[in-house]
Amino acid sequence: MDWGIVIAICEIIGAVAIVATLAYLSVQIRQNAKALERQEDIARSQILQNRADSVTNLAVLMSSVQENVELVTKLKSSEEIGPADLSPEEKIRAYLLLTALRSNLENTYLQYKRGYLPEDFYKTAGVKNNRDWGALLIKFGMPLTEDFKMELVRIITATENTGDTT
């Protein structure tokens, strides 16, 4: 028996095994990538559904009690209104309502920054809500992360200067 032929055959078998293994791994990587994409799509859908639920809960909170409706109307009726213009009961109610609102808006901003929410969603709904409520959140001294506060100031300033929020 010629050992050179045996070694050559073993090398050919080894090379074929390596090519087959690489082909198999390539297929596995593609399948895993597709599975991850599906999981990301599901996660994004869940995040958007949670956003919708959060907004719905906030709307219910603001509108389910007449005193809340009256307070929200009062808060939005004038840009000059501040905590000093409210009764002690209204201050507490305003703080609680604005806490829920701040949580919702800041969470939307953070999810957008992390890439969980589509840019067009944030640029329309998120920016509009931040523009509509940001000054009140700041005026009432709501606890805001520095990044979110800077975003609110950016939107408010852009709106005041040019009407543009992008």
pLDDT band at 10 (very low <50, low <70, confident <90, very high): confident
Count, in order, helices (H) and strands (E) of the chain: 6, 0
For residue 16, the number of C-alpha atoms closer than 13 Å in the C-beta half-sphere is 6
What is the C-alpha radius of gyration for the chain, rounded to an integer number of angstroms?
28
Tell me how far apart the alpha carbons of residues 60 and 46 are, in angstroms, rounded to a whole number. 21
The reported pLDDT for the residue numbered 164 is: 58
Residue 107, domain extent: 3-162
pLDDT in tens, 32-86: 888 888 888 888 788 888 888 888 888 888 889 999 999 999 999 888 889 999 9
For residue 144, the number of C-alpha atoms closer than 13 Å in the C-beta half-sphere is 25
pLDDT in tens, 75-129: 998 888 899 999 999 999 999 999 999 999 999 999 999 988 889 989 999 999 9
Q: State if pTM tops 0.75.
A: no
Measured between alpha carbons, how far is residue 166 from residues 71, 133, 150, 156, 161 in Å?
30, 17, 14, 11, 12
| Total number of domains in the chain | 1
pLDDT band at 163 (very low <50, low <70, confident <90, very high): low
